[in-house]
Structure 1
């Protein structure tokens, strides 16, 4: 609230309201304070779900560009309420940037939205960031670099590959009768058809249920069906392939190619520069056998993974740690990239930028709105 989040809401509501009906978890008094500071009007058609927390502020509600415990607590409670509404109504969720230190000052034990979602749903939420040209998923995200090496364990990484393959396929392709990964300790011993049938049975109570939920995420709450014009619907449907990476948008799973980055320089040079990449390579071999197709490619040396030649071949990348994957992504597509939380019962997106305290509540701040708008477009398009 002390950053640019409320400005994003106020300046972009009119455009978003054309094709969806957002519900904002905020008290009117807080939004009114932001609007006055920005010299903006609160749109009359905004639907606000109050938190009834305005009384926690004993002086000025908004302290532009400042980190404080009260703003951290307020943003967390807003997020917490939004999650509960998403569960109740099977709706998608868009979150605004938060300052992690403000959460810490407020006594919030989570390092961010994703960490809370993992705890709330007891599932390993996967962070995937990017735009239609390129998405990057993170095996580890908000942990110190010194702990990354210890996280690269065979079963943990292999399960991550399985979860990502399932979750990504649910977003961008219909569930088809192609080979589906199966967690089998006797790797490679079963016929691909047997793997397919057993996997579908094994996943029926989880994957299919999640698919059904995701298919209705927007329709029940986000979409205002009475006010959507036919032309808007057709335009949105036509643009599904624009948001999804071009080389496998709505294509059979067997055409999906995912480039996996190594951890060490030169992807370890066959163990000379570190053993972790040997584990990564083994997991890639196993998951491809489970799928019955060469979907996961690598490991690829991180320093050359994002060269133009590779980006022509791959539009999905998996990085072992935060900066390995996100530094190239943000150098290329910072203004348009979004953050997507996969492998959860709800689908959540957010802008791929921070609170921008240095630009908050300032005139002529030249804030880009694209990432925020893309967060909504993505949800509407993948759920049409």
Structure 2
């Protein structure tokens, strides 16, 4: 079932691989079963990125998201006239301005109910910082944009082999022990549990929780966060009726046998979740933001400036992000 409204796609950094994988995704729209989408800004960038890859793609600029379906079969719809020079692999301030404006406008269109969801192409956080972007990443930007506490914006990485949620995200590893808490685990597990029911159709989600320390602390020998923080949070959630287990050792929870026992794993820090996800599903990994009033997905990779414009970028994760956003939007619409 397609999304009820076209999806809004932000361009990402025009010097990265975002434009070319968006263009490639549009050319594969039928075989991939994608819902209609429109891109905010960057019409010339998309056209040149498509030519670089040898793609047959026409760009049609639209004035309103409702016009996207009218041109979808024949051309990629681009909302507005914002643009920049296409210089793959050479990020600059003009491109950063385009990336930020595209993200802001695409978010606004989704917030206004003019788009079925938001799909964000990769940005360069360091480049955006030069033009006024103050958040650690797009997940935090979206939480701020909707006036939600950042604890409510739950990042879930999803691929064919694994779903994983990092409890803490964009912070130094040394800060993690002080940032994890019983309240944070409980809060995010509740959001995750409801989102898996509503957006993924899993009636009784099974959640596995990683420990922080080697061997999940081994009864306090290698750290006591499992005993005094993680374990009590799990016990509290069990009393609420959640199907949740742990804390599990981080070196065993992602094995093929272990993955059969849960629908999603909650990791304690960024790399504990992203390393296994990228090892298993790099070309199909999707970043989904749960806990927001809109649907938001993104390919789970960066700008890849080093291969931009060379025809090497795999569009698989962008296609997966577009497909997942359409599926979630359709499921939400069907539930009313």
Distance in structure 1 (CA, Å) of the matches to 2:238 and 2:96: 43
Structure whose alpha-carbon radius of gyration is higher: 1
Residue matched to 1:101: 126
Residue matched to 2:37: 22
- Spell out, residue by residue over 1:112-154, the C-alpha distance to the aligned partner (whole angstroms, 9 max, x if none): 2101011112322111002132100111111111111111122
Cα pair 2:289 2:296 within 8 Å, conserved: yes
- For structure 2, which runs of at least 5 residues remain unmatched after alignment? 1-13, 59-73, 332-336
Distance in structure 1 (CA, Å) of the matches to 2:281 and 2:46: 30
The structure where helix makes up a greater share of residues is 1
Residue matched to 1:189: none
Cα pair 1:28 1:48 within 8 Å, conserved: yes
Alignment of 1:249-268 (within 5 A): 250=202, 252-253=203-204, 256-268=205-217
Q: Do the aligned partners of residues 19 and 356 (structure 1) sit closer, same or farther apart at CA in structure 2, a change above 3 Å counting? A: closer
Match of 2:278 among 327, 330, 339: 330
- For structure 1, which runs of at least 5 residues remain unmatched after alignment? 174-249
Distance in structure 2 (CA, Å) of the matches to 1:112 and 1:65: 21
Match of 1:116 among 119, 122, 141: 141
Residue matched to 1:48: 78
Alignment of 1:244-323 (within 5 A): 250=202, 252-253=203-204, 256-278=205-227, 279-291=229-241, 293=242, 295-323=243-271
Cα pair 1:95 1:348 within 8 Å, conserved: yes
Q: Do the aligned partners of residues 14 and 299 (structure 1) sit closer, same or farther apart at CA in structure 2, a change above 3 Å counting? A: same
Match of 1:72 among 96, 100, 117: 96
Which secondary structure state, in structure 2, belongs to the residue aligned with residue 304 of structure 1? coil
Alignment of 1:203-218 (within 5 A): none
Residue matched to 1:376: 322
**Equivalenced residues, count:** 295
Residue matched to 1:6: 19
Cα pair 1:259 1:300 within 8 Å, conserved: yes
Distance in structure 2 (CA, Å) of the matches to 1:166 and 1:338: 19
TM-score (norm 2): 0.82
What is the Cα deviation at residue 344 of structure 1?
Answer: 0.4
The structure where strand makes up a greater share of residues is 2
**Aligned residues: CA RMSD:** 1.9
TM-score (norm 1): 0.72
Which secondary structure state, in structure 2, belongs to the residue aligned with residue 350 of structure 1? strand
Which secondary structure state, in structure 2, belongs to the residue aligned with residue 136 of structure 1? strand
Residue matched to 1:152: 180
What is the Cα deviation at residue 288 of structure 1?
Answer: 1.1
